[in-house]
């Protein structure tokens, strides 16, 4: 089986390594000639996945047609803001037998489409699956046990991806809820920004737990309103991914949030993290979707005000704490 991995960031490289170690024929595409040359000569991404040595069997190219033309599976691992342009570049070479696996997490700000929906717009008739869950590339690249979800509308497609990626350290479950998996993946990054801001402000575990729990309530409300299934948000691609992203220093969203909580403007925080902070791009889209569907999302709203309106993070927390009284669960009150 031949695999084309589009995107040589930490996640794309970690997955390319996993597949190559399973004796798959893997070609990685990057738009950056310097990145391709580094990977060819060093067999390591020294900037984004230092210390993870890659199998010499992996091929690298700057020509997208070389990665996709003969591939059975195309893995889309570019940042969310580049998904549309990359899909458009793939379209002339796409063949109906090929499966596209999206591993990018986000919602497009202008269209409010998920990443798989964007791919389907650019490549009509494409067979698209999604791979998502609590899975830092830094750990997958070192074979630390990880569980994840493969979602597709067709069961056969989901099971094909499950078998492709499954290993003794990488366990893959299947799901039919593509939309729910993608919404959970995108919005957890926004909540992780908020969790990082709380850390930057010097708040404690109580605050983190509150943000994770109430953030999950916001994600599930919006996801269900969009057509996702409730159980998805309490699985690996929902609460699982949210916990790992809010709690780990591997999380670029949490690290950026810490800096913002300390008063660093978000653009400077992103530059210091040195990697794409997907939550910044998903925050506006999430807020717009909430407004469009009439879903209350106070954490997402405050994150947007901090990022784009210059609101003080401590003031945002105070506003969240002083909101009108709410019921968590009315249960069987009489």
pLDDT of residue 322: 72
Q: Which two tokens stand for residue 263?
A: 């008063």
pLDDT of residue 276: 79
- Res 308 pLDDT > 90: yes
Query: pLDDT, tens digit, for every residue of 253-304?
Result: 999 999 999 999 989 999 998 877 888 889 999 999 999 999 999 999 999 9
pLDDT of residue 274: 82
- Res 323 pLDDT > 80: no
Count the residues in the chain. 334
CB-based contacts of 206, cutoff 8 Å, min separation 6: none
What is the pLDDT averaged over residues 140-155? Answer: 97
- Res 225 pLDDT > 90: yes
Q: Which two tokens stand for residue 219?
A: 């994600």
13: left (phi over 0), alpha (psi -120 to 50) or beta: alpha
- Res 325 pLDDT > 80: no
pLDDT of residue 334: 73
Q: Which two tokens stand for residue 89?
A: 């570049």
Average pLDDT, the chain: 94
Between CA 158 and CA 84 the distance in angstroms is: 23
Q: Catalytic residue numbers? A: 188
Between CA 300 and CA 232 the distance in angstroms is: 20
As a whole-number percent, the residues of the chain with pLDDT over 90 amount to: 90
Q: Which residue has the tokens 């403007």?
A: 265
- Phi, psi at 263, each rounded to 5°: 100, 5
Q: For the structural domain made of 187-321, what CATH number should be given?
A: 1.10.1040.10
135 close to 188: Cβ distance less than 8 angstroms: no
Query: pLDDT, tens digit, for every residue of 234-257?
Result: 999 999 999 999 999 999 999 999
Q: Which two tokens stand for residue 332?
A: 């069987």
**What is the homologous superfamily of the domain 2-176 according to CATH?**
NAD(P)-binding Rossmann-like Domain (3.40.50.720)
DSSP 8: -
DSSP 107: B
What is the pLDDT averaged over residues 152-171? Answer: 97
Query: pLDDT, tens digit, for every residue of 56-71?
Result: 999 999 999 999 999 9
For the chain, give the longest Cα–Cα distance. 71
Bridge partners, residue 333, by sequence: none
Query: pLDDT, tens digit, for every residue of 77-104?
Result: 999 999 999 999 999 999 999 999 999 9
Q: In what order do the strands lie in the sheet with 99-102?
A: 59-61, 25-29, 2-6, 73-76, 99-102, 127-132, 146-151, 170-175
The residue extents of the domains of the chain are 2-176, 187-321
328/57: higher pLDDT = 57
The confidence band for 329, taking pLDDT boundaries of 50, 70 and 90, is confident
Q: How far from chain centre, in Å, is Cα 153?
A: 19
């Amino acid at each position: 089986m031949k695999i084309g991995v589009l995107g040589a960031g930490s996640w794309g490289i970690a997955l390319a390594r996993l597949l190559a170690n399973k004796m798959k024929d893997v070609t990685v595409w990057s738009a950056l000639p310097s990145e391709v040359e580094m990977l060819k000569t060093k067999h390591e991404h020294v900037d984004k996945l230092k210390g993870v040595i890659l199998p010499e069997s992996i091929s690298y190219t700057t020509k997208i047609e070389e990665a996709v033309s003969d591939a059975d599976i195309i893995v889309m691992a570019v940042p969310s803001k580049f998904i549309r342009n990359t899909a458009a570049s793939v379209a002339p070479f796409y063949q109906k037998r090929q499966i596209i696996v999206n591993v990018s997490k986000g919602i497009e700000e202008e269209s409010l489409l998920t990443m798989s929906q964007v791919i389907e717009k650019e490549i009509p008739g494409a067979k698209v699956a999604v791979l998502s869950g609590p899975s830092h590339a830094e750990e997958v690249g070192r074979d630390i046990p990880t569980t994840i979800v493969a979602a597709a509308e067709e069961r056969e497609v989901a099971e094909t991806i499950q078998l492709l990626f499954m290993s003794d350290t990488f366990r893959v479950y299947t799901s039919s809820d593509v939309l729910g998996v993608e919404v959970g993946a995108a919005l957890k990054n926004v909540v992780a920004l908020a969790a990082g801001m709380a850390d930057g402000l010097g708040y404690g575990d109580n605050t983190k737990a509150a943000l994770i729990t109430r953030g999950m309530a916001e994600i599930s409300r919006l996801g269900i309103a969009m057509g996702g299934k409730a159980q998805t948000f309490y699985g690996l691609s929902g609460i699982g991914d949210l916990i790992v992203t809010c709690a780990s220093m591997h999380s670029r969203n949490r690290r950026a949030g810490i800096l913002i909580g300390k008063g660093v403007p978000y653009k400077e925080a992103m530059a210091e993290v040195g990697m794409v902070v997907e939550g910044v791009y998903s925050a506006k889209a999430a807020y717009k979707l909430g407004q469009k569907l009439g879903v209350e999302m106070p954490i997402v709203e405050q994150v947007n005000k901090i990022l784009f309106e210059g609101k003080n993070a401590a003031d945002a927390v105070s506003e969240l704490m002083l909101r009108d009284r709410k019921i968590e669960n009315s249960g069987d009150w009489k």
